[in-house]
Amino acid sequence: MAKPVSIEVWNPNGKYRVVSTKPMPGTRWINLLIEQDCRVEICTQKKTILSVEDIIALIGERCDGVIGQLTEDWGETLFSALSRAGGKAFSNMAVGYNNVDVSAANKYGVAVGNTPGVLTETTAELAASLSVAAARRIVEADEFMRAGLYDGWLPHLFVGNLLKGQTVGVIGAGRIGSAYARMMIEGFKMNLIYYDLYQATRLEKFVTAYGEFLKANGEQPVTWRRAASMDEVLREADVISLHPILDKTTFHLINKESLATMKKEAILVNCSRGPVVDEVALVEHLRQNPMFRVGLDVFEDEPYMKPGLSDMKNAIVVPHIASASKWTREGMATLAALNVLVRKLVTQPHYLLA
Ligand SMILES: NC(=O)C1=CN([C@@H]2O[C@H](COP(=O)(O)OP(=O)(O)OC[C@H]3O[C@@H](n4cnc5c(N)ncnc54)[C@H](O)[C@@H]3O)[C@@H](O)[C@H]2O)C=CC1
Ligand SMILES: O=C(O)C(=O)CO
């Protein structure tokens, strides 16, 4: 049996008990829950990733809803515990919900929410930052300066890749993939090639219109193409950014074979989920191809990196911070609270009439 976990309580006399497995930024989400007569319990345990047992202890005997995190395993065990405690709603504080077994939630009558949209631009901005940092070798150059190694300008010092006029490849052109594509097209005048199961009509229209605008101003127009296969993107793009969901179809989408298809000097960015890339194959590819560079926000076995990755100069690694802007994280917390509340309002029609 897990030890009791430490909690902070807001509005102790609230009628509905809502648990958040982590403190979240801002207070708007807490106030929204309190306004709707919720007692809010926030886990303050100094342990980054809570186990299933920890969360069962948090749910306790009676719990109406839970706001959880992408690091937690929301499967059969937790949804049955929540349902036994009378819970009707769960929200992940994330848009990705590969940590949530939605059919188990359905089985136990628990509605599931996520936090799309509010993090689209912030996440795309990090993917764009990693693309530029990798292309221009910013992290390596920063380390070099700090190590006191700079002794004067040289024609060959930290030569990288020019983005303008090159091709950006997007795999998964949904909300974030499309926002990223626009940033790279507007910012660096790159041409687009994308692969998605669905047509990204709005993105295509944007690139067409932007290309016409550039042409009317006497500049080289940008172009777009929807690839019939992912391999086309891998073969043709100079910078490739991954933005699909993680599911069975995208697990190890990038593997030894697909890496070999890419240009030797290509840049690969992953701000989706770690297991979309076979990280062992990636480390080997980085070792064999020193001009190939990656920018990674996510890892296959978070919080760990596969052996050798941290030694690779041609890899930039950051700790899953793509959505980490203040505005966005407060927005995600607010959406997560609303997800839990919507279910309460829907299942308590008398409350709506009160
Ligand atoms: N690193 C981070 O902090 C963050 C990571 N994410 C990740 O990004 C993912 C995407 O988020 P959104 O753009 O909001 O979702 P979205 O649902 O708008 O876009 C996902 C796109 O992937 C496409 N897709 C699905 N399977 C595919 C396949 N086999 N091949 C090619 N494309 C495929 C879908 O058709 C869709 O267009 C999330 O599921 C999450 O895992 C999201 C936010 C922050
Ligand atoms: O929202 C997500 O899916 C994340 O990875 C964190 O923002």
Same domain, 70 and 130: no
In a domain, 1, yes or no: no
> DSSP strand E in the chain: where?
7-10, 16-20, 38-43, 65-68, 89-92, 111-113, 167-171, 191-195, 224-226, 239-242, 267-270, 293-296, 315-317
Q: Is the dihedral of CA 235, 237, 241, 244 positive or negative?
A: negative
Residue 162 exposed, middle or buried by CB count within 10 Å (0-12, 13-18, 19+): exposed
**Above 90 in pLDDT, residue 348?**
no
Query: pLDDT above 90 covers what percent of the chain?
Result: 95
Q: Above 0.95 for ipTM, yes or no? A: yes
Contact status, residue 238 vs residue 161, Cβ threshold 8 Å: yes
Rounded to whole angstroms, the Cα distance separating 111 from 92 reads: 11
Distance 118 CA to ligand 2 centre (A): 11
Residue 236 and residue 101 in one domain = no
Residue 354 or residue 159, greater confidence: 159
Mean pLDDT of 41-53: 97
**Does the residue 268 lie in any domain?**
yes
Chain position carrying tokens 């795309």: 124
pLDDT of 5? 81
Q: How far apart are CA 184 and CA 165, in angstroms?
A: 11
User: 127 and 247 share a domain?
Assistant: yes
Ligand 2: lining residues by beta carbon, under 6 Å = 70, 94-96, 119, 323
pLDDT at 27 over 90: yes
Question: In angstroms, how far is the first alpha carbon of the chain from the final one?
Answer: 41
Q: What is the separation of C-alpha 312 from the centre of its chain, rounded to a whole number of angstroms?
A: 23
Buried-state track 221-248, b at ≥16 Cβ within 10 A, e below 16? bbebbbbeebebbbebbbbbbbbbebee
Distance 159 CA to ligand 1 centre (A): 32
Q: Is residue 346 part of a domain?
A: no
**Same domain, yes or no, for 181 and 79?**
no
Burial degree of 261 (CB within 10 A; 0-12, 13-18, 19+): middle
Q: Which of 189, 292, 170, 185 is nearest to 240 (CA)?
A: 170
Regarding whether 129 and 276 lie in a shared domain, the answer is yes
The Cα–Cα gap between 338 and 327 comes to 16
pLDDT(345) > 70? no
Res 340: pLDDT: 97
**How many structural domains compose the chain?**
2
Task: Please tell me the residue having the least CA distance from ligand 1 atom 2.
Answer: 322
- Average confidence (pLDDT) over 227-249: 98
What residue numbers bound the domain in which 290 lies?
119-317
C-alpha dihedral, 290 to 292 to 297 to 299, nearest 10°? -70
Which of 69, 91, 95, 297 most suits a substitution to test ligand 2, by most atoms within 8 Å of the C-beta? Answer: 95
| Domain identity same for 21 and 126 | no
Q: How far apart are CA 100 and CA 91, in angstroms?
A: 10
Note whether residue 27 is domain-resident. Answer: yes
Taking only the tens place, the pLDDT of each residue in 216-226 is 999 999 999 99
**Looking at the structure, do residues 74 and 168 belong to the same domain, yes or no?**
no
Mean pLDDT on 80-100: 98
256 lies in the same domain as 336: no
* Cα distance between residue 134 and residue 163, in whole Å: 11
Q: Tell me: do 74 and 222 sit in the same domain.
A: no
Work out which ligand 1 atom sits closest to the CA atom of 120. 14
Residue 353 domain-assigned (yes or no): no
pLDDT, tens digit, 9 for 90 and up, residues 309-332: 999 999 999 999 999 999 999 999
Instruction: State the chain's mean pLDDT as an integer.
Output: 96
With cut-offs at 50, 70 and 90, classify the pLDDT of residue 346.
Answer: low
* Same structural domain, 129 and 92: no
Is residue 15 domain-shared with residue 86, that is, in the same domain?
yes
2 in a structural domain: no
Kindly report the protein residue whose alpha carbon is nearest to atom 3 of ligand 2: 96
Q: Tell me whether residue 196 is in a domain.
A: yes
Q: Are 134 and 267 in contact (CB under 8 A)?
A: yes
Is residue 221 assigned to a domain?
A: yes
The position carrying tokens 């992940």 is: 92
Mutation pick for ligand 2 pocket among 97, 123, 125, 175 (CB with most ligand atoms within 8 Å) = 123
Q: Active-site residue numbers?
A: 273, 302, 320
Angle between helices 120-135 and 138-146 (to 10 degrees): 60
Tell me, what CATH number does 87's domain have?
3.40.50.720
Cα separation, 111 vs 108, in Å, equals 9
Assess contact for 4 and 47: CB atoms under 8 A. no
Shared domain for 203 and 104, answered yes or no, is: no
Ligand 1 atom showing the smallest separation from residue 250 Cα: 29
